[in-house]
Structure 1
C-alpha cells in the first residue's frame, strides 16, 4: 500500500468527504516537514509539527506556504543549536 492509498483510507475513516484527496506532492511535503522537524528539533517534533500544519491548513492556511515556513523554522532551530 502506498502512502497516498493509506491517506485515502484515512480520509474515508474520518469521513472527510468533500475534501480533496492527497496527491503524492502533498504526501512528500508532509514527509519532508516531518524529516526537518525530527532531524532539526527532536524526533517527537515530527508528528506534533505535522499535526499543527494540519490544524493551520484546516483553518485556512496555504499548505505549501505553511509547510515551507515550518521547515524554515525547524532548520533555523538546528542552526541556532550549532552556534550555542
Structure 2
C-alpha cells in the first residue's frame, strides 16, 4: 500500500466511504486537466463538484470524462 492508498483508506473510514468506491485515477486525471488547462485552484474545487455529481447519481467515469474534455477545450489553453 502506498501513501495515497493509506490516506484514502483513513479518510474514507472517517467519512464512511470504502477505498474501492474511490476512482482515484479518474479524480487525479480530472484534477490534472483542470490544474494545467484552466487554473490550479480549480482542481480541488472541481474534484468536489465531481463528488457532488456522483453523489447525486452521475456515473463517475462519464462525469470525469465530461469535465476533462471541458478542461482540455477551455479558452486560453493554447496561450499557456
Partners of 1:73 and 1:3 lie apart in 2 by: 27
Distance 1:39 1:31, change over 3 A: same
C-alpha RMSD of matched pairs (Å): 1.9
Partners of 2:63 and 2:49 lie apart in 1 by: 10
Unaligned segments of structure 1, at least 5 residues = none
Decide whether the 8 Å contact of 1:36 with 1:74 is kept in 2: yes
Distance 1:23 1:61, change over 3 A: closer
Unaligned segments of structure 2, at least 5 residues = none
Shift of 1:23: 6.7
Q: Which runs of 4+ in 1 moved over 2 A?
A: 19-24
TM-score calculated relative to the size of structure 1: 0.80
Partners of 1:23 and 1:55 lie apart in 2 by: 14
TM-score calculated relative to the size of structure 2: 0.84
Count of residues in correspondence between the two structures: 77
